[in-house]
Structure 1
Amino acid sequence: MKTIKKPIKSEIKIKKSQFICRLYPAKTQSDSKEIINKISNKYSDATHNCTAYIVDDGEGFDDDGEPSGTAGKPMLNALRKNDLHNIVAIVTRYFGGIKLGAGGLVRAYNKSVLEAISESEIIEIEHYDIYQIIFNYNDLKQIEQELRKYQIHIIAKSFEDKVSYDIISKESENIKKIKEKLKLISEINFKCKKALEKI
């Protein structure tokens, strides 16, 4: 599964109309709507703020006043064509005085998103099981040696009364091995499942 690493903005002009496309990483419909509302409010002076998103819990689009099917759907199709997920696209249009017609609008909104995608840093993401390992400070060195040995990645660290690491592995078998190896000096529990950059 592919997504963009960070937000990006690109701009094109077609027959005096300005099309500004912003792409944002997003995981849920709630995330997407929050981003859309923020941008739509910020650029409320625009003629249209059209949107499309594909996230873990669904997809959607909005023509925001453009003729039905001429903006949001072509934007969504551009995301699908590039096999992108966990992404929201917003195209802000400032009308330049020359009407583009239905076909012209479809091409303009599609092109605007494709242009932004071409300038984006695309990354592969996968769903990983995240485990939490909890241990005493004096076991730190041994724990880190074993994690390296079994090619287990640490994605978060916390140092309080005890040390706590969030860990993932490409091979679920390695988690079983490390659990067995370190069961006397640590506690390893499943925490959650998350979409993360491919390791």
Structure 2
Amino acid sequence: MPTYTLASSVSAEIDIRKSRFIACAIPVANRDEAMRELDGLRATHPGATHVCWALLAGGQSGMSDDGEPSGTAGRPILEVLRHHEVDGVLAAVVRYYGGIKLGAGGLVRAYTDAIATAMQQAERVERVERGLIGIELDYADEARVRRWIEQHEAELVESAYGMTVRLVVRMAAAAREPAALELRDLTNGRAGIEVRT
């Protein structure tokens, strides 16, 4: 069964009784990346009263009410993510308090509505697990292998030049073993291929 993530980040802003709620849904690879995104949001909104969030990222899920009453922010945000059946997504809502208390029920509705508004704009895409392969090859084979990388929607993430050319490529994890065979054939067995975990 496929899992889905977001094609790109989306955001929306709603005002409820003078409080501003800025919702962001951001595709992330893992919890570490999500925490960096949250740090960025806090830096962008230093005057915000709360930055509440929920994360669905495989086994690295989590949530935070960030000072709001327990269960009024993180859990409602998480439920919206679950409703949209996504993974690898950080949903955060930045709140600027407007001076009027909303009560627990009002907060749950506000955080739910804010992130739901952002998610309505989101484009879901199938989430493909990606992995790395290392390729060591002769200079004579480099142009051919670079063409192969472009044709196979792989991403060149590193290249180093010494006695040989060393390339590191990110691609769909399931395609790495067949890719290793194709690259060996392409270079007449000269390339050394390492499928990395």
State the TM-score bracket (shorter-chain normalisation).
Answer: 0.7 to 0.9
Aligned match of 2:48: 46
1:186 to 178, 184, 191: 191
Give the letter for the 2:9 counterpart.
P
If the length of structure 2 is used for normalisation, what is the TM-score? Answer: 0.79
2:169 to 150, 166, 171: 166
Cα distance in 2 for partners of 1:129, 1:29 equals: 17
The answer to whether the Cα contact below 8 Å between 1:17 and 1:98 also exists between their aligned partners in 2 is yes
Q: How does 1:1-199 map to 2 (within 5 A)?
A: 1-143=3-145, 147=148, 152-156=152-156, 158=159, 160-161=161-162, 162-163=164-165, 164=167, 166=169, 168=171, 171=175, 174-175=178-179, 177-178=181-182, 181=185, 182=187, 184-192=189-197
Cα distance in 2 for partners of 1:6, 1:184 equals: 39
Give the letter for the 2:191 counterpart.
S
Which ranges of structure 2 fall in alignment gaps of 5 or more residues?
A: none
Post-superposition offset of 1:172: 5.7
Cα distance in 2 for partners of 1:40, 1:139 equals: 47
Cα distance in 2 for partners of 1:130, 1:108 equals: 41
CA RMSD of aligned residues (A): 2.8
Cα distance in 2 for partners of 1:73, 1:173 equals: 40
Structure 1 pair 106/186, CA: closer, same or farther in 2 (3 Å)?
A: same
**Structure (1/2) with the larger strand percentage:** 1
Q: Which moved more, 1:112-121 or 1:180-189?
A: 180-189
Post-superposition offset of 1:13: 1.2
Q: Which moved more, 1:172-181 or 1:1-10?
A: 172-181
If the length of structure 1 is used for normalisation, what is the TM-score? Answer: 0.78
Aligned length: 189
Which ranges of structure 1 fall in alignment gaps of 5 or more residues?
A: 193-199
